[in-house]
Copies of this chain bind each other. A is one copy, B any other.
Amino acid sequence: MNVLILGMDGYIGWGLSLHLAAKGITVSGIDNFSRRRHVEEVGSWSAIPILSMSDRLSVADRLYPGKVSFIEGDILDFDFLTGVLKRNRPDTIVHLGEMPSAPYSMIDATHAFYTQQNNVLGTLNLLFAMRDYSPEAHLVKLGTMGEYGTPNLDIPEGFFDIEYRGKKANLMFPRQPGSFYHASKVHDTHNIMLTCKIWGLRATDIMQGVLFGTRTHEINASKNPETATRFDFDEVFGTVINRYCAQAVIGYPLSIYGKGGQTRGFLSLIDSLQCLAIACENPPEKGEYRVFNQLENVYDVTTLARAVQRAAGRMGISVTLDHTVNPRKEAEEHYYKVDAHRLPKLGFRPTRTLEQELDIMLEDLIGFTDRIRQKQSVIAPRTTWDGKGPAMPVSQQNSFSEKPST
């Protein structure tokens, strides 16, 4: 297998590169390093220090000789992208080259524009490049469970059988994105589905749950710091469990947005890599557009905060839970039930329990409390969905333990 990874320098991208290389797979990658710039733009950094790409490549080459290569470039540059496909002729393309943050897309018009431009038009470029230079390749595209929103129905894997006025059809399950970022992934979904139909491309569109975690089979920041992948904890790029863990190690209250009944699918980084490898190893038929719901478990964000609180307790750290004004516009209590059968059928088995994973994360993060403390002002939510500027800092809001006032 010859895999091309778009977004090799990212949280998942670097982890996947090492994971596939460790399996003996030849991996080439591209990245425009936008994630490093964006995190800097919002005033933060990775809690766990990461190497430059050139140093990463040296490490990869030492660990997996000749398996990992890289070239810097932007998917919005069509000539660059076609050049990569022409030269590499990958049989699998894993597209992680999108701007992955909902809050970043909601900052203002410029950031919303950038998000949809980069994600939707970048993917459109990729689809045309594939049509012309890698029409047989398998596109593994990272979407998000957030494409579905929170309908008051079970969420199937992409499509559902329905009967309407006496006629039956199998149709795409309606999407209800809750931010311009989520919408960009919905737009991709429609574009990719179209090209499978009209050009016979083959694609796995992955509706992934919210990720968390620091360690993979190949990455252990505590033992081998040079393998580390990034770990963001700011309000813009930090996912909820990662933010809680960063808050926990500095003894900062865990920020629960609003009522805290928001329920989502979650998945550890190590298992995201397991799933992506399974997707790569099991390509769909030519012309097939296939959706995987990629998650381990469904939790609400208060349950998760309590789990992190207990994990911190096991390390002797006492933290409180803090309910902040929700910067997002979203249902805070709702029905949520998701089908996720396809990956388990192909062999996916969760690696660890949530508790085990949290213990590992706190162990990996505890050495970087200084780095988190230096940037602790970027953890509290400032980017609001109504565009009316920063939410109040946590210190000025009702702060309490375990009992929401909203």
Contacts and interface: CB of A to CB of B under 8 A. Distances in A.
7 A-B pairs closest in CB distance:
A109-B128, A187-B187, A171-B174, A198-B329, A172-B174, A152-B169, A153-B164
Given A131-B387, A152-B169, A183-B187, 18 more contacts: A78-B109, A78-B113, A108-B128, A109-B129, A113-B124, A116-B121, A116-B187, A117-B117, A124-B180, A151-B171, A152-B167, A154-B167, A160-B164, A171-B176, A172-B174, A175-B190, A187-B187, A199-B386
22 contacts: A78-B110, A78-B113, A109-B125, A112-B124, A113-B121, A113-B124, A113-B125, A124-B180, A132-B387, A151-B169, A152-B167, A152-B168, A154-B165, A167-B335, A172-B174, A172-B176, A175-B190, A176-B193, A179-B194, A198-B385, A198-B386, A199-B387
A113 B120 CA distance: 9
B116 A124 contact: yes
A183 B174 contact: no
Interface string A153-187: 11000001010110111011111111110010011
A128 B165 CA distance: 38
A222 interface: no
Contacts of A171: 151, 153, 174, 176
A153 B165 contact: yes
Contacts of A385: 198
Interface string A54-96: 0000000000000000000000001000000000000000000
A328 to B, nearest CB: 9
Contacts of A198: 178, 329, 385-386
A180 B153 contact: no
A154 B160 contact: no
A120 B112 contact: no
A117 B128 CA distance: 15
B194 A183 contact: yes
A341 interface: no
Contacts of A169: 151-153
Given A176-B172, A194-B183, A128 B153 contact: no
Nearest to A82: B109
A349 interface: no
Interface in A104-128: 108-110, 112-113, 116-117, 120-121, 124-125, 128
Contact of A177 (B113, B165, B194): B194
| Most interface-central of A152, A190, A199 (chain B CB within 10 A) | A190
A292 to B, nearest CB: 19
A197 interface: yes
